[in-house]
Amino acid sequence: MGNTKTDLAVFNEFFSEHKSNFMNFAYMYIRDRDASEDIVMEAMMSYWENRHKIMDNSNALAFVLTVVKNRCLNYLKQKKTHRENNETLQMHESWKLDLQISTLEALVPSDIFSKEIQDLVHKTLSGLNKRSRDIFMMSRYDNMSNKEIAERLNISVKAVEYHITLCLKRLRIALKDYICMILFYL
């Protein structure tokens, strides 16, 4: 057996690591904790049943997010139909459900980190001063530790932390509209 993880161990790790993100995503649209949990559990069961067709973790995330998205859409459409049939749905609620449905329909999980987001990141980083940008690039793209960056640039570790914090703050502001998608990357 060696160091090879079993399918079940990999699944349990994936489930533990991502369940709350999927739950938050579903809840953001359907606003029902129990239904969100049911949807996520169904999506995870679908992932388990299709695990051999999924190549890597990023494909697994996109697969499960697609299932969650589709189940949320079905839930919202069913809710809308039920309310319209009862003629108790008010104009505001109908509009809200239509907005939730159209937002979910427009979401393409496999394109979470599309060119648009990459362009926003590039533009944000380009707008920073050279020192902050260089430090951030060394940290995130070159995988250097704060200590290694400090030694290379002959500055304190605190200065490195300051520059990285500044960059992250700017990125959070620039990417605020994409936060639900970014959660799955983190």
What pLDDT score was predicted for residue 76?
87
With a threshold of 0.85, does the pTM exceed it? no
Dihedral of CA 57/58/61/67: which sign? negative
Residue type for 94, please? S
Q: Yes or no: say if 79 and 97 are a contact pair by the CB < 8 Å rule.
A: yes
What pLDDT score was predicted for residue 91?
60
Task: For 28-82, write each residue's pLDDT tens digit.
Answer: 888 899 999 999 999 999 988 888 887 665 578 888 988 999 999 899 888 877 6
Q: How far apart are CA 75 and CA 35, in angstroms?
A: 8
Kindly list the averaged pLDDT for each block of 10 residues, start to end, along the chain of length 186.
61 88 88 93 90 71 88 87 59 65 68 66 88 89 87 93 88 70 48
Q: Yes or no: say if 27 and 33 are a contact pair by the CB < 8 Å rule.
A: yes
Q: Yes or no: say if 22 and 43 are a contact pair by the CB < 8 Å rule.
A: yes
Q: How far apart are CA 124 and CA 172, in angstroms?
A: 10
Q: Yes or no: say if 135 and 160 are a contact pair by the CB < 8 Å rule.
A: yes
What pLDDT score was predicted for residue 119?
77
What pLDDT score was predicted for residue 121?
80
Q: How far apart are CA 134 and CA 136, in angstroms?
A: 5
